[in-house]
Amino acid sequence: MTYAAECQGQAHRVTVTRVGSPAAVQLDETSHEVDFTPLGGGSFSLIMNGRSYEVDVVEEGEGVLAIWVGGEPHRVEIEEEGRRRRKAPGAAGQAQGGPQTIAFPMPGRVVKLLVSPGQEVTAGQGIIVVEAMKMENELKASGPGVVKEIKVREGAGVAGGEVLVVIE
Amino acid sequence: MKEADTQVFKKILIANRGEIAVRVIRACREMGIDTVAVYSEADRAALHVRLADEAFLIGPPPSAQSYLNADRIIETAKHVQAEAIHPGYGFLSENPEFAARCERVGVTFIGPSSQAIRAMGGKTAGRSLAAQAKVPVVPGSTRDLTDEEALDAAKEVGFPVLIKASAGGGGKGMRVVSKEADLAGAIRAARSEGSSSFGNSAIYVERYLGGARHIEVQILADTRGSVIYLGERDCSIQRRHQKVIEESPSPFVDADLRRRMGEAAVKLAKAAGYTNAGTMEFLVDSSKNFYFLELNARLQVEHPVTEMITGLDLVKEQIRIAAGEPLSVRQDEVQLRGHAIECRIYAEDPFNNFMPSPGKIQVLRDPGGPGIRVESGIYEGCEVTIYYDPLVAKLIAWGRDRAEAIRRMRRALEEYTILGVKTSIPFHRRMLDDPQFLSGQVHTQFVEGWLATGMGQATDTNAEIALIAGALYLHTKKSSVPAAQGQAAAAGSPWTLAARREAMRRR
């Protein structure tokens, strides 16, 4: 079985040619023998070329895995080859200047609006500050655009998940 | 130090939650004192509830209706006949009304007297007391000001100037102003933040010290007049005025400066009639001038670094002091040994602007080994809720010197695995590799500048392993799931998957 994968903007092909212990895996042009032993709870012990790694896998969404190796996270988009790739929400796409929505994932309170309707914004510019878990969080634009709509007022409570600002 | 023979209290109620409640429970247990936890509806399964001898529900999740509900907490203490209340940090810990009410109903508040909290509580009150005691303060006003007075004071102090809400804290209600034209707006903003966050619009003015270090002195004062200082903590590594890494001793402080700051802190504590544990915060400029900022009238989050280098247990000292016992050490017996660093582990995403990250802890592997201490309020399977501070744990490393402490911390951060919520562990790993941090040449604005460039994905030597693991993960998952159940299993827990995989293998 071959998987099409992307990590740090680089495309790769990974083929599992034999399961079992060790499994045989081909990454791009190179073949490896890999012992991949589950430890429970999404944690694995991986031994390759005599080197031992702690690996933790968290499913972040359809075809997106957060894979921790040696304490560092790797975002890997991976699917069986031939299946249509779905872009995860928030990835690319938005940065091209299409409409973007600024939302906050949990209940909180709007502390400050940093923009006004009609204002031009650049990628990474602070748009709104929301307080939750006793911390203030500045939400930023993922790409350039013009502020089209502001749906909340300063001081207002937000329920979580709702769209706060629309940028076009 | 005698411990076995001091039966100071029989039962203590802990008016807090999270790692600090766990910390206090542990100290009580070692002293043979029964513990009473209080909890909100969101915290029924929290670690402090599980560890305490008794536990009582005090209200719904929002802190205002639970951990800040003084009536309910005092009622509970009376009901269970607890002789004392330990407030931890935050919540009711520096509330003079609460301390006064405890005093009135005859429950010992483990902290300073309500009078001392009042005397040092407001920022301007503390500043004016410090000025009287001849402890240097940042140049500026020592009382609350009207708008007119603030304008004049700012011009007199000179730009850049800081407009601060008297009741402020955690960086709220604070404005740096570099030119006269911006003054009026900054005064308005500081007042409005002060009133919305702290219910108090009073402001004052002080000179802005850019590039200064935040260094604080831990003191202990018993009720018999003894006051000692326990070295300093360097807390210059802050993000948005929140401390993230603390260490002791400070790489910047020499023996002479330590003694001068320590003596100033003791003098100030005596002037305020202060008792119990407290921390004097100072700004220290590059010429080793120090200026008193404020007193924290409670146990600090970062107290473990002081414990590691002094060998003292500050919570036990607090309890003994509250019971009227003398300090267990004299100043000349205090010896600083080695170096300790603390990393605060927050449930937040360092790769996404430190967005809070509530959720269920799916995997937890604590680090261990020599010199490592974990103060944690979480366990595998527990929920980090949206209601409270996102601090979930503190990791403390001790070494014979700073270099060894840093190496141990790096090693422990590598072992520390928390999955299910995002944490600040990757931030700490990068910071502990940063040449400027390693040199110790940092100040309170260092992190902000560093973050503008520093917090990228690490240059990755393990991407290959991640890709191979990802393919094997999907492959084993798929082959172990019978086709008809594919959908359900995809949503199922990793445990079910592991069990199925196991069953397949035995076949």
Query: Is there a contact between A71 and B429 if contact means CB atoms under 8 Å apart?
Result: yes
Query: Is there a contact between A132 and B386 if contact means CB atoms under 8 Å apart?
Result: yes
Q: What is the pLDDT of residue B239?
A: 92
Closest to B151 (Cα-Cα) out of B187, B202, B190, B201: B187
Same-domain status, A104 and A66: no
| Torsion sign over Cα A61, A67, A72, A76 | negative
Same-domain status, B170 and B237: no
Whether B39 maps to a domain, the answer reads yes
Question: What is the rounded distance in angstroms from the CA atom of residue B249 to the CA atom of residue B264?
Answer: 17
Closest to B183 (Cα-Cα) out of B206, B204, B163: B163
Q: Is A156 near chain B, with CB under 8 Å?
A: no
The full DSSP string for B145-189 is: B-HHHHHHHHHHH-SSEEEEEEEEETTEEEEEE-SGGGHHHHHHH
State the amino acid at position B323 in one-letter form. A
Same-domain status, B92 and B151: no
Same-domain status, A104 and A46: no
Q: Is A1 near chain B, with CB under 8 Å?
A: yes
Same-domain status, B366 and B435: yes
Whether B253 maps to a domain, the answer reads yes
Q: Is A72 near chain B, with CB under 8 Å?
A: yes
Query: Is there a contact between A48 and B413 if contact means CB atoms under 8 Å apart?
Result: no
Q: What is the CATH number of the domain that holds B158?
A: 3.30.1490.20
What's chain B's length in residues? Answer: 507
Q: Is A137 near chain B, with CB under 8 Å?
A: yes
Same-domain status, A99 and A50: no
CB crowding A22-39: b at 16 or more within 10 Å, else e = ebebbbeeeebebebebe
Whether A89 maps to a domain, the answer reads no
Whether A31 maps to a domain, the answer reads yes
Q: In the listed set A80, A111, A146, which residue is the last one of a domain according to the structure? A: A80
Question: What is the rounded distance in angstroms from the CA atom of residue B187 to the CA atom of residue B8?
Answer: 49
Same-domain status, A74 and A106: no
Judge whether B175 counts as a catalytic residue: no
Q: What is the pLDDT of residue B60?
A: 97
Whether A34 maps to a domain, the answer reads yes
Query: Is there a contact between B467 and A57 if contact means CB atoms under 8 Å apart?
Result: no
Same-domain status, A100 and A71: no
Closest to A77 (Cα-Cα) out of A69, A68, A88, A92: A88
Same-domain status, B308 and B438: yes
Closest to B220 (Cα-Cα) out of B310, B132, B85: B310
Whether B151 maps to a domain, the answer reads yes
Show the tokens assigned to B117: 């909290």
Same-domain status, B183 and B262: no
* Residues lower than pLDDT 50 in chain B: 1-5, 483-491
Which residue in the set A19, A76, A132 is minimally distant from B475, CB to CB? Answer: A19
Q: What is the pLDDT of residue B151?
A: 92
Same-domain status, B365 and B399: yes
Question: What is the rounded distance in angstroms from the CA atom of residue B422 to the CA atom of residue B351?
Answer: 9
Q: What is the pLDDT of residue B110?
A: 98
Query: Is there a contact between B469 and A137 if contact means CB atoms under 8 Å apart?
Result: no
Same-domain status, A7 and A75: yes
Same-domain status, B164 and B302: no
Residue B84 · residue B12 · CB < 8 Å: yes
Task: Tell me which residue range forms the domain holding B76.
Answer: 11-110
Show the tokens assigned to B343: 């990393």
Whether A39 maps to a domain, the answer reads yes
Same-domain status, A99 and A68: no
Whether B4 maps to a domain, the answer reads no
Same-domain status, B218 and B182: no
Same-domain status, B161 and B258: no
Task: Tell me which residue range forms the domain holding A137.
Answer: 94-167
Q: Is A136 near chain B, with CB under 8 Å?
A: yes
- If one counts every other C-beta atom within 10 angstroms of the C-beta of residue B506, the result is 5
Residue B179 backbone dihedrals phi, psi, to 5 degrees: -145, 155
Query: Is there a contact between A58 and B356 if contact means CB atoms under 8 Å apart?
Result: no
Whether A86 maps to a domain, the answer reads no
Tell me the per-residue pLDDT of A16-56, one tens digit each, with 9 for 90 and over.
999 888 999 999 999 999 999 999 888 999 999 999 999 99
Give CB contacts under 8 A, 24+ apart, made by B155-159. Answer: B155/B180, B157/B205, B157/B206, B157/B207, B158/B207, B159/B208
Q: In the listed set A80, A106, A125, which residue is the last one of a domain according to the structure? A: A80
Tell me the per-residue pLDDT of B250-278, one tens digit each, with 9 for 90 and over.
999 999 999 999 999 999 999 999 999 99
Question: What is the rounded distance in angstroms from the CA atom of residue B507 to the CA atom of residue B502?
Answer: 9
Q: How close is the nearest chain A Cα to the Cα of B224, in Å?
A: 38
Query: Is there a contact between A36 and B494 if contact means CB atoms under 8 Å apart?
Result: no
Show the tokens assigned to B313: 């247990």
Farthest-apart Cα atoms in chain B, separation = 85
Q: Is A148 near chain B, with CB under 8 Å?
A: no
Which residues in chain B have their CB less than 8 angstroms from residue A133's CB?
347, 356, 358, 386-390
Q: What is the CATH number of the domain that holds B292?
A: 3.30.470.20
Same-domain status, B203 and B218: no
Same-domain status, B229 and B171: no
Q: What is the CATH number of the domain that holds A74?
A: 3.30.700.30
Q: How many structural domains is chain A composed of?
A: 2
Whether A133 maps to a domain, the answer reads yes
Whether A142 maps to a domain, the answer reads yes
ipTM of the complex: 0.75
Q: What is the CATH number of the domain that holds A98?
A: 2.40.50.100
* Residues lower than pLDDT 50 in chain A: 87-97
Question: What is the rounded distance in angstroms from the CA atom of residue A35 to the CA atom of residue B87?
Answer: 51
- If one counts every other C-beta atom within 10 angstroms of the C-beta of residue A159, the result is 9
Same-domain status, A36 and A64: yes
The residue in chain B having the minimum alpha-carbon distance to the alpha carbon of residue A41 is: B494
- If one counts every other C-beta atom within 10 angstroms of the C-beta of residue B251, the result is 16
Residue B274 · residue B221 · CB < 8 Å: yes
For A35, residues 6+ apart whose C-beta sits below 8 A from its C-beta are: A21, A22, A23, A45, A46, A47, A48
Same-domain status, A59 and A99: no
Collapsing DSSP states into helix, strand and coil, what is residue B284? Answer: strand
Residue B59 · residue B66 · CB < 8 Å: yes
Q: Report CA Rg, chain B.
A: 24
Q: Exactly one of B17, B127, B298, B500 is catalytic; which is it?
A: B298
Same-domain status, A120 and A146: yes
Query: Is there a contact between B417 and A43 if contact means CB atoms under 8 Å apart?
Result: yes
Residue B211 · residue B229 · CB < 8 Å: no
Q: What is the pLDDT of residue B454?
A: 64
Q: Which of A7, A14, A53, A154 to mutate to test the interface with B (most CBs of B within 10 A)?
A: A14
The residue in chain B having the minimum alpha-carbon distance to the alpha carbon of residue A32 is: B468
Q: Which of B473, B481, B501, B504 to mutate to test the interface with A (most CBs of A within 10 A)?
A: B473
A-B Cβ pairs (cutoff 8 Å, strict):
160
Same-domain status, A15 and A72: yes
Which residues in chain B have their CB less than 8 angstroms from residue A155's CB?
196
Q: How many structural domains is chain B composed of?
A: 4
Which residues in chain A have their CB less than 8 angstroms from residue B415's CB?
71
Same-domain status, A69 and A118: no
Q: Which of A48, A60, A68, A79 to mutate to test the interface with B (most CBs of B within 10 A)?
A: A68
Q: In the listed set A80, A108, A141, which residue is the last one of a domain according to the structure? A: A80
Whether A85 maps to a domain, the answer reads no
Q: Is A74 near chain B, with CB under 8 Å?
A: yes
Angle at CA B82, nearest 5°, toward B226 and B12? 55
